[in-house]
Structures are given as structure tokens and as C-alpha cells.
Amino acid sequence: MAQAVARVASSDTLASNNARSRRIVDRIATGSLWTAAGSVVALLVIFIGYLFYKGASVISWHFLFGYPSSANAGGGIGPEIFNSFYILILTLVFTLPIAVCAGMYLQEYAGPGRFRDLVQFSAESLATVPSIVMGLFGLLIFVQMFHWHFTALGGALTLTLLNLPAMMRVTQEALAGVPGTYREASMSLGATRWQTVVKVILPSAIGPLITGVVLVSGRIFGETAALIYTAGASVSFGKSAYDFNPFHTAETLAVHLYSTHREALVPDADAIGNGSALVLLVMVLLFNVVARVVGRQLTIRFTGKAS
Amino acid sequence: MIQTPDATSLHDKMNVVDLDVFYGNFQAIKKGNLAVPDHRVMALIGPSGCGKSTFIRALNRMHDLTPGARVEGTITLDGTDIYAPDIDPVTVRHRIGMVFQRPNPFPKSIFENVVYGPKIHGEKNAKRLLEIAEKSLRAAALWDEVKDRLNRSALDLSGGQQQRLCIARVLAVEPEVILMDEPASALDPIATSKIEDLIGELKKKYTVIIVTHSMQQAARISDFTTFFLLGELIEVGTTSDIFTRPKDKRTEDYITGRYG
Amino acid sequence: MVGVRANKAHRDERFALIVLVTCSGIFVVAIALILGFLAFSGTRLFFHDHVSPFEFLFSTNWDGLGGHFGAAPFIVGSLIATGFAILVGGPLGVAIGVFFSELAPKRVADAMKPAIEVLVGIPSVVYGWLGLTVLVPLIGSIFHTGGDGLLAAGIVLSIMILPTVISLSEDALRVVPDSMREGSAALGATRWETISRVLVPSAKSGLAVAVILGIARAIGETLAVQLVLGNAPVFVTSLLRPASALTSEIVMDMGDAPDGTAFQHALFSMAFLLLLIAMGLILLIRFALRKRT
């Protein structure tokens, strides 16, 4: 008994010395991790604050909707904003059907097998193609081979290739969130797989699906490197700068931010840059907010529950 | 308060007084009181969902890791309140080891698993670590089976071997109390009997508290038994008393097989 | 009547399957075409213009219009900028992933996650603009240089790869079963000891994937790098001197290189090299994940 007490006592003092230093290490590590995470958020706040500080004074009705200028101060970004949305919509028109169908196939139809592995591997590979490399592929095909020159359509098709994998992933994840019992219930009522997917699975997955689509749209809106040599770095000077012709050159806002710095002769290039950067940032924030709000609303409407 | 019989002749290693455990608003343990005698095996039995596991996890402050879990009341180890504000849960778990329902070896070598505890507690001497590993593996009756492959992954062992490795891992930190949460429930009968033999050996050096869903197991290995029902400690006694002359009607119903 | 309806459902089912398989096949065709066209255009420099691959990879003499196609300065520039980003952004990203998985209370995580998503969404050209207007002057005033160079590019890339590394390392750690956390805690380990000695080693293949995808993002990044690098096609001698990378050089020169010339072919060779690196990283990820199972 006395021995046991002695053993406890000695191991206690031994442990306590060691335990104190270990506790300090634990505290330091915990503090460092909090600091690291906090600093990233702080960085984001600084970015946003800085862009507003520098860009807010540039923003005006004339800047947002006016024509760019090639040599004089006071140019606007109206056509660029239009082109960004125009190319985004064209891209979505191509991307959505293909990516959603492929996502449905992989998630709902394909059993394990060679074809599924091949599609999955192709998607992963496609996802890691750098956007400048995709831009050169677009240049080879649409500009050089098809002789389209720089066009909104060529840019949109290039962005389609670039964003197919992300859209497919979004679809797969949205579908994966639907409980398996829904499938069983529908199939056991005699529905075919396709009827089950269209009438049961897709509506239940619509919230997360739209959220994902809007977030990817934000990335398409800001894409630059893939567009410089496909959609071009100048706006078309037709009758109107708001040009719906998909075979005309179409500089987007993101490309404009780059080209203004690179080759503009205008004296107020910095101001235009600051204004464009702020508009791009605000658009990204908007896409994020819209993604969340719309996604939640749709989830509530179609499944009756908030998630 | 329920008194442990024969307590007068035995030193109480741990004492639980008015223990309440909550998960959010759900109260999983209601006013639990228990004295655990030193160097004996105490079995906790009762139907599933009765709070045995919740109770045993309160004894080494594992609930600290569960968000939303709250523990009230007093638990002492050799008279010291382990929930006192100045007590570090890490030190508590050093002195009160735990073996889980499913074997949970780390994805490391057998050797690294055993010396994990000693290493974090400051032992750096390689020769000393090897001695600890051998001693602990021998005590867990695993040494002969693994001595030639200490550097192989612990995940290559069978389930029963993995569980004995987990016991060796606990022994290596030289705890005073060993908590076991249904340690044999995931094992086959042969592996189970090895674990049971081992528990008989362990009580020579340690105080053992074991949750089991098998009354036969409790009868075979324990000196004392506590019966749980719906979060309450119904009856505590020597194992032979509990199984042959239970005082409470509910205990009797359970051991005669009237609950699931 | 029932028969007709069942027939139609059956026909729909077949038609749907054909459409879905076709759409899935587009992915395979797309990557095959990209590899094929870039392999062809990317090797014209060697087969058509008879520039030796050795010169392309190891010569430091680059003069596109003058007929010298040594891409070594850009290859080294890309590797240094990427290496810097991984050395800084990799550990930081993993640390924040650990924070989200192991430390952050739910409310804190819910509040911080949208910030990470906004960081993903900010266009790379805006990162470049911020680098150009904030970071480059800052570095310039500290070191009394122009400020542009690989240090600026490395810092911008470190920030840009963070969201990728953070979210993938968080996922990798969440996959580690709770029984590992409990087992370690029950042996008297502190939370940090559990993280550093059990969780991180257990999640190492997933963490490797997180870092590799960070590399992929960094090496292919173009505009953020181009805007802060200073774009001097010379072999790097200092992190604080203007330099160039594969991506930035392509975007700079493509507009000046006439179609069908060796100059343009050399730029396609650089793009093909980037593509090969990206494919190599994908195979590396497959390898890392296969080893686990």
C-alpha cells in the first residue's frame, strides 16, 4: 500500500512538470492556428476595403455604362460589362446541359466500370488544364482552324471546356445529397430510372445545384487568361457596343483590367483599373450572396426544409 | 447513496457522487453514485441505451471532446476531484486509461502504437521505449505473436490482436485505472476469451471498470457489478450477490432475461 | 393502353441513356483533343523548325523574333514561384484546414467559410491588380528595388492557392475516424499532440492531394503572375529582380508572334509543357490515393 502511494506520488510530480510544458505547447499551437485562420479573413477584409477605397471614387453612371476610350481620359466599361455577361450566358448555354447530363450519368446511372473511370479521369484532367493552355487550344481551334478570329462564341466555347468539370462536380455533389430512400420509393412505384431522376431526384437537388451553378458562374465571369486570345482584348466597334453578334470580338471586364494595364495609352489607366477591379469584386460578392439566397429558397420550396 | 458492499475492507480508488450527464437537453445519467474499489474489476451491465457507456466516458473526461455534452456532480480519483477547475483533463486521462468498443489502433507500426503514450509523456530513450513496448505487449499477452514484426502496420493484425494491442498501448502509459467500454463486443469467441483472461491478470496491478452487454462475461470476470437502467444506477454489489440474490426487482428482471 | 405508356417510358429511358452517355463522352473527347492538338502544335518547334528540345529546355537565350528559343528562364521562374507558393501557402493552408476540422466551433466555422469561398471567387486578374498596386510598391519600398519579381509572384500565388489547400485538407482530416481522436486523447495526449502525431499522419495522402492541387493551381496561374513579375526574359538571379514564367511569357508574346512561325511554335511548346506538368500532377494524385487503399 505504501509502495503504491509512493509510486503514484512520484509519477505525479514527474508528470506535472512534463504536463505543464506540453500544455504550453498545446496553447501555443492552438493560438497559432486561430491566428492563421484569422489572418486569412483579415486579408480578405483588407482586399475588399482597399478595392472600395481606391475604386469607389471612379464609379459613376458614365463609367459603368459609357464607352471605353482608346487615347483620352474618361473612358467607361459599359461594353465590357455587357460582354462579360454575354459570354457568361453563352458559356452556360453550352456547359449546363452537357455537365448536368454527365453528372447525372455518373451519379445515377453508371455502375463501376471502365467507362465511368475514363469519364472521371478525363474530367479530373480537364479540371487541371491551366486556363492559359485552354486559351491557346481555343486559339488553335476557333481562331486559326475555323478562321473565326477573336469572337465571343470562341471565348464561350473555350470557357465551356474550362468549366465543364466544375459544373459536373457541382451536379454530382447535389445529386449525392439526395437520400437513397427517394430513389427506392420512386422506383418501387414503377417509375423508370429516367422518370425518377427527372421527377424526384433533380427537384430535390435543385437548391444545392443552383448554388453551385451560380458560384461557378462567378468564376466564369472573372476568367481572363483563356479569353485574351479567343474572345480578344478589344471591343467591337459596330453600330452599338452592346453587340449580340457572337462572331464579333468581345473583350470582357476581366480582360479589360489586364489590357488597360498592359497596353492602354489612356492617362487614367490606373483609375480605370481600380474601378474595373472593384466592379469585378462586387460582382463576385453578388454571385456569392445570390448563390446562397436562391439556393436556400429553392431548397425550401422543393423539399420543404431549410438546409 | 448506494454503498458498495465490503467497502470497509477496501480502499476506494474512485468515487462518483451525484453524477448527471446531459447531451444538450437530454439527461443521459441521473444522479449516479458509485464507489470503485482499488485493484478489483467492476462490471457495468444493463440493457443497451441505459447509459453505461456515457457513465464510463465521464470517468476520464472523454465528454470534454463531445460538443454539447455536459457533466455535473463530483468524480474523485484517490480523493482528488477530476473535474476541479485546476485539473488538466490530459493528466486525468494519463492516470485513467481507456479501451474502446472497437479496436482503434493508429495507422502506425505495432511498436509506434505501443510507445505512443510514453513518447508524448516525454520518454525519448530508444532502449527504454523498447523495454516498455516489450513489457506492455507481454502484459497484454501479445508479445509472442508480434515480437518478430514490431515494425509492421498495426492494421495488419486481426481484430482480437488489435484490441490487445490497444490494451498494451494503455498499459504502456502506466495508468492506475483502466476503463473498458465493451472491449470484446466486436471480437470472436476465442479472441474474447483471451481478453477475459487478460482482465483477470490486470486487476493485480490496476483497477478495472468494464462495460459489458454480456451478463455471462460480467459473471466470469468481475468482482463487483453495477446494474444500470434508463440512466440510473439501480443496484451495486458483489458480482455473486447481484447474480444470485439481487435486492431490486428490476435487477432481478434483467438478470433473468426479462429486458432485451 | 398501359402497354403503350410503358412502351413510351421505355423509349424515353433509352433515349435519355444515349444523351447522358454522349454528354459524358464529350469529356473524354475534349481532353483527347486538347492533348492531341497541343502535342502536335507543341512539338512543331522540334520537328518542323528543327530546334533541339535540349536547347528549348536548357538554354537561357530567349529572343523570339531573333530565333532563339531557350525557355529555361521561364521554366525556372515558374518552378521558383510555384515552389515559394507551396512552401508558404501549403503549410498555412493545411494549418487552416486543421483549424476548420479540429478547432473551430461551428459558429466560427459558419462565419468564416463564406470568406474562403469569396477568396476562391476573386478573379486572378484582380489578385494580380492587388499585387501590382499594393504588394509591388510595398516590396519596392522595403528592399529599395522596383518591387516586381518572383518574391511578389510567390506571395500572390501563396494566397491564391490557400482556398484549394484549406478545403481539401479539411476534407482529408474529416475522413479520419473519431476513434483515432478518442484513442489518442484517452492515452493522455493533448489536442495538439493528437493533431500532429495521429491525425496529420493518418490523413497524409489526402493532405498530399491538397498540396498537389495547390501546385497545379500555382503553376498554371497566369495573370496574377504576369502583372507582378516584371516580365524580363532573363535567367533569374534574385527574387527581387524582374523575371518571367511560362504562363506569363505565353500571354506576353502570343500577340506578337505571327502564325506559323517558330516563335509561335515555341509558345505552344511552353503550353504543351504546362499541360504535361498538369497531367503529371493528376497521375501523382492517382498514385497518392491508390497507395492508401
Do C17 and C107 belong together in one domain? no
Q: Assign A113 a pLDDT band (cuts: 50, 70, 90).
A: confident
Give strand pairing partners of B17.
B74
Cα–Cα distance for residue pair C290/B7, rounded to 1 Å = 57
Q: Assign A4 a pLDDT band (cuts: 50, 70, 90).
A: very low
Q: Which of B124, B200, B216, B189 is nearest to B167 (CA)?
A: B200
Q: What pLDDT, on a 0 to 100 scale, did the predictor assign at position A18?
A: 77
Q: What is the pLDDT of residues C110-129, one digit of tens each?
A: 989 888 989 988 999 999 99
Q: What pLDDT, on a 0 to 100 scale, did the predictor assign at position A265?
A: 73
Q: What pLDDT, on a 0 to 100 scale, did the predictor assign at position B2?
A: 46
Which residues of chain B neighbour C197 with C-beta distances below 8 Å? 116, 120
Residue B2 in any domain: the answer is no
The verdict on A71 touching C (C-beta cutoff 8 Å) is no
B touches which chains (3+ CB pairs under 8 A)? A, C
Q: What pLDDT, on a 0 to 100 scale, did the predictor assign at position B255?
A: 86
Do C37 and C119 belong together in one domain? no
Task: Determine, for residues B11 and A1 on separate chains, whether the beta-carbon distance falls below 8 Å.
Answer: yes
Q: What pLDDT, on a 0 to 100 scale, did the predictor assign at position A264?
A: 65
Name the packing angle between helices A78-104 and A202-222 (round to 10°): 140
Size of interface A-B (CB pairs under 8 A): 18
Cα–Cα distance for residue pair B210/A220, rounded to 1 Å = 59
DSSP structure string for C152-219: HHHHHHHHHHHHHHHHHHHHHHHTS-HHHHHHHHHTT--HHHHIIIIIHHHTHHHHHHHHHHHHHHHH
Q: What percent of chain A has pLDDT over 90?
A: 55
Mean pLDDT of C158-180: 95
Best probe of the C interface among A125, A147, A164, by most C CBs < 10 A, is A125
Task: Determine, for residues A224 and C123 on separate chains, whether the beta-carbon distance falls below 8 Å.
Answer: yes
Decide if A231 contacts A255 (C-beta within 8 A).
Answer: yes
Cα–Cα distances (Å) from A177 to A212, A288, C288, in that order, read: 13, 21, 27
Which residues of chain B neighbour A18 with C-beta distances below 8 Å? 121-122
Q: What pLDDT, on a 0 to 100 scale, did the predictor assign at position C293?
A: 46
pLDDT at A112 over 90: no
State the burial class of residue C59 (Cβ atoms within 10 Å of its Cβ: 0-12, 13-18, 19+): middle
Q: What pLDDT, on a 0 to 100 scale, did the predictor assign at position A243?
A: 77
Distance from CA of A79 to the nearest CA of C (A): 18
Task: Determine, for residues B97 and C185 on separate chains, whether the beta-carbon distance falls below 8 Å.
Answer: no
Task: Determine, for residues B90 and A18 on separate chains, whether the beta-carbon distance falls below 8 Å.
Answer: no
The verdict on A23 touching C (C-beta cutoff 8 Å) is yes
Q: Which of B40, A260, A88, A195 is nearest to C17 (CA)?
A: A195
Q: What pLDDT, on a 0 to 100 scale, did the predictor assign at position C100?
A: 95
Cα–Cα distance for residue pair B112/B221, rounded to 1 Å = 30
pLDDT of chain B, 260 residues: tens digit per residue: 444 445 455 788 999 999 999 998 999 999 999 999 999 999 999 988 888 999 999 999 999 988 889 999 999 999 899 999 988 889 899 999 999 999 999 999 999 999 999 999 888 899 999 999 999 999 998 999 999 999 999 999 999 999 999 999 999 999 999 999 999 888 888 889 988 999 998 989 999 999 998 888 999 999 999 999 999 999 999 999 999 999 999 999 898 887 65
Q: Assign A1 a pLDDT band (cuts: 50, 70, 90).
A: very low
Return contacts of A291-299, CB within 8 angstroms, 24+ apart.
A291/A210, A291/A211, A291/A212, A291/A214, A291/A215, A291/A218, A292/A211, A292/C114, A294/A210, A294/A211, A294/A214, A295/A207, A295/A208, A295/A210, A295/A211, A295/A214, A296/A207, A297/A207, A298/A206, A298/A207, A298/A210, A299/A206, A299/A207, A299/A208
Beta strand B96-99 with B80-81 is: unpaired
Q: What pLDDT, on a 0 to 100 scale, did the predictor assign at position A233?
A: 81
Helices (H) and strands (E) in chain B, counts: 10, 10
Beta strand B12-23 with B69-77 is: antiparallel
Total domain count, chain C = 2
Do C129 and C200 belong together in one domain? yes
Do C248 and C109 belong together in one domain? yes
The verdict on B169 touching C (C-beta cutoff 8 Å) is yes
Q: What is the pLDDT of residues B20-41, one digit of tens each?
A: 999 989 999 999 999 999 999 9
Q: Assign A16 a pLDDT band (cuts: 50, 70, 90).
A: low
Q: Assign C199 a pLDDT band (cuts: 50, 70, 90).
A: very high
Mean pLDDT of C126-134: 94
Task: Determine, for residues C202 and B107 on separate chains, whether the beta-carbon distance falls below 8 Å.
Answer: yes
Q: What pLDDT, on a 0 to 100 scale, did the predictor assign at position C174?
A: 95
Q: What pLDDT, on a 0 to 100 scale, did the predictor assign at position C4?
A: 67
pTM to 2 decimals?
Answer: 0.89
Task: Determine, for residues B90 and A19 on separate chains, whether the beta-carbon distance falls below 8 Å.
Answer: yes
Name the packing angle between helices C150-174 and C106-121 (round to 10°): 140
Do C38 and C124 belong together in one domain? no
Which residues of chain A neighbour B122 with C-beta distances below 8 Å? 18
The verdict on B138 touching C (C-beta cutoff 8 Å) is no
Q: What is the pLDDT of residues C13-29, one digit of tens each?
A: 889 999 999 999 999 99
Q: Which of B209, B256, B216, B219 is nearest to B241 (CA)?
A: B219
pLDDT at A28 over 70: yes
Q: Assign C51 a pLDDT band (cuts: 50, 70, 90).
A: very high
Best probe of the A interface among C14, C18, C24, by most A CBs < 10 A, is C24
Residue B260 in any domain: the answer is no
Do C143 and C278 belong together in one domain? yes
Q: What pLDDT, on a 0 to 100 scale, did the predictor assign at position B86?
A: 87
The verdict on B66 touching C (C-beta cutoff 8 Å) is no
Do C173 and C271 belong together in one domain? yes
Cα–Cα distance for residue pair C152/C105, rounded to 1 Å = 34
Distance from CA of A9 to the nearest CA of C (A): 18
Total domain count, chain B = 1
Which residues of chain B neighbour C190 with C-beta distances below 8 Å? 90, 120
Show the DSSP H helices in chain B as ranges: 52-58, 89-95, 110-120, 126-139, 143-146, 159-171, 189-202, 215-221, 239-244, 249-255
Cα–Cα distance for residue pair C177/B53, rounded to 1 Å = 19
CATH number, residue B116: 3.40.50.300
Q: What pLDDT, on a 0 to 100 scale, did the predictor assign at position C236?
A: 85
Cα–Cα distance for residue pair B187/B159, rounded to 1 Å = 6
Do C81 and C44 belong together in one domain? no
Q: What is the pLDDT of residues A238-248, one digit of tens each?
A: 555 677 888 88
Cα–Cα distance for residue pair B169/A170, rounded to 1 Å = 44
Q: Which of B218, B241, B243 is nearest to B6 (CA)?
A: B241
Distance from CA of A18 to the nearest CA of B (A): 7
Which residues of chain C neighbour A25 with C-beta distances below 8 Å? 190, 192
Which of A97, A105, A288 has its CB closest to that of C118? A288
Q: What pLDDT, on a 0 to 100 scale, did the predictor assign at position A306?
A: 54
The verdict on A98 touching C (C-beta cutoff 8 Å) is yes
Q: Assign A7 a pLDDT band (cuts: 50, 70, 90).
A: very low
Q: What pLDDT, on a 0 to 100 scale, did the predictor assign at position C3?
A: 62
Task: Determine, for residues A105 and C130 on separate chains, whether the beta-carbon distance falls below 8 Å.
Answer: no
The verdict on B108 touching C (C-beta cutoff 8 Å) is yes
CATH number, residue C237: 1.10.3720.10
Do C91 and C184 belong together in one domain? yes
Q: Give the residue with greater pLDDT, B170 vs A75.
A: B170
Which residues of chain C neighbour A222 with C-beta distances below 8 Å? 121-126
Give this complex's ipTM. Answer: 0.93
> Which residue from B minimizes the CA distance to C198?
B106
Mean pLDDT of A27-46: 94
Cα–Cα distance for residue pair C93/A303, rounded to 1 Å = 36
| Residue whose grid cell is 510530480 | A13
Question: Domain span at residue B35?
Answer: 7-255
Question: Domain span at residue C270?
Answer: 57-292
Q: What pLDDT, on a 0 to 100 scale, did the predictor assign at position B260?
A: 52
